[in-house]
């Protein structure tokens, strides 16, 4: 059985792959979406608990990565989880 966090991390990886980006994980657990030139386009700073998860989304901007959004979603809120997934598709 997979941990519930797999739902989010797997979705991020598949969504970024569909945009032509590859996911790499830093030693401190940050998810980097990089293009073929290894430029970081997105950074996902994830924190998981038994009750919810938090995700800070950083996006490539002038001079580096800038904070785009922060979400905190309870595992029991399916609607918010689906909205988060749609949000990632639209990035």
Please give the Cα distance from 80 to 60 (Å, whole number).
Answer: 25
Per-domain residue ranges of the chain: 5-90
Please write down the long-range contacts of 75-80, taking CB distance under 8 Å and 24 or more positions apart.
75/4, 75/51
Predicted local distance difference test score (pLDDT) of residue 55: 98
Predicted local distance difference test score (pLDDT) of residue 65: 96
Show the CA angle centred on residue 73, arms to residues 70 and 76, nearest 5°.
175
Q: pLDDT tens for residues 27-75?
A: 999 999 999 999 999 999 999 999 999 999 999 998 899 999 999 999 9
Predicted local distance difference test score (pLDDT) of residue 63: 87
């Amino acid at each position: 059985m997979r941990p519930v966090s797999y739902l989010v991390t797997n979705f991020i990886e598949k969504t970024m792959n569909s945009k032509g980006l590859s996911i790499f994980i830093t030693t401190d657990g940050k998810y980097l979406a990089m293009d073929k030139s290894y430029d970081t386009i997105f950074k996902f700073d994830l924190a998981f608990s038994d009750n919810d998860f938090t995700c800070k989304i950083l996006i490539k901007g002038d001079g580096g990565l800038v904070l785009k959004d922060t979400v905190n979603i309870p595992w029991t809120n399916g609607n918010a989880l689906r909205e988060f997934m749609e949000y990632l598709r639209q990035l």
